[in-house]
Amino acid sequence: MDMNEYVVIKHIEELVSLGGFVHNGITVEYDRSVDIKRFNIKTPDAKFLIGTSGDVLFSLNYIVKRYIEKQILKKEGVFSKKYSFIVDINDYEKERINKLKAMANILADRVRSYKQNVKCEPLLAYERLIIHSYLSNIADVETESVGLGSERRLVIKYKEPVN
């Protein structure tokens, strides 16, 4: 475990304890396909920490990331600006990321087959980021976000192979 991981884990544990929740450990995984580190909290209190459609977990991520940025970056200088991570509860986000990757594969196959761009339904910034990262290493497709606000969408475009 590196220093960054240690600091994030300690602050997650503190926040979970302050909320009066129990946890059975925090594991750290790196997903190379989307270039993100995932801190997974094992807990019997998952339904309270995830919330409806992940809304509480989304807020928990926001709080932990802002806390790390504001308190730790300034005081300790431990983190680089590119330290990308998410907080997960009982693999909820991992499953969500896997669903986004599966959707991205299907849409990329459609783009390749028809050689036409595909516009996705509106997605959260985080979801678009996952798909952008996941498809970034595929030679014959590229991604772009278009639109504004809640109507912002991801477009997967066909890219002619260069010989």
Q: Given 3.30.470.10, 3.30.300.20, 3.40.50.150, 3.40.50.2300, which CATH number is that of 3-90? A: 3.30.300.20
Given pLDDT bands bounded at 50, 70 and 90, which one contains residue 145? Answer: very high
Confidence (pTM): 0.85
Domain residue ranges in the chain: 3-90, 97-158
More confident position, 161 or 131: 131
The answer to whether residue 142 scores a pLDDT higher than 90 is yes
Do 3-90 and 97-158 come out as alike in CATH topology? no
Q: Please, are residues 7 and 76 in contact by the beta-carbon 8 Å criterion?
A: yes
- For residue range 108-130, what is the model confidence (pLDDT) as tens digits? 999 999 999 999 999 988 899 99
Report helix, strand or coil for 5. Answer: helix
**DSSP state letters, 9-76:** HHHHHHHHHHTT---S-EEEEEETTTTEEEEEEP-TTHHHHH-GGGHHHHHHHHHHHHHIIIIIIHHH
Q: If you classify domain 97-158 with CATH, what class do you get?
A: alpha beta
Per-residue pLDDT at 108: 96
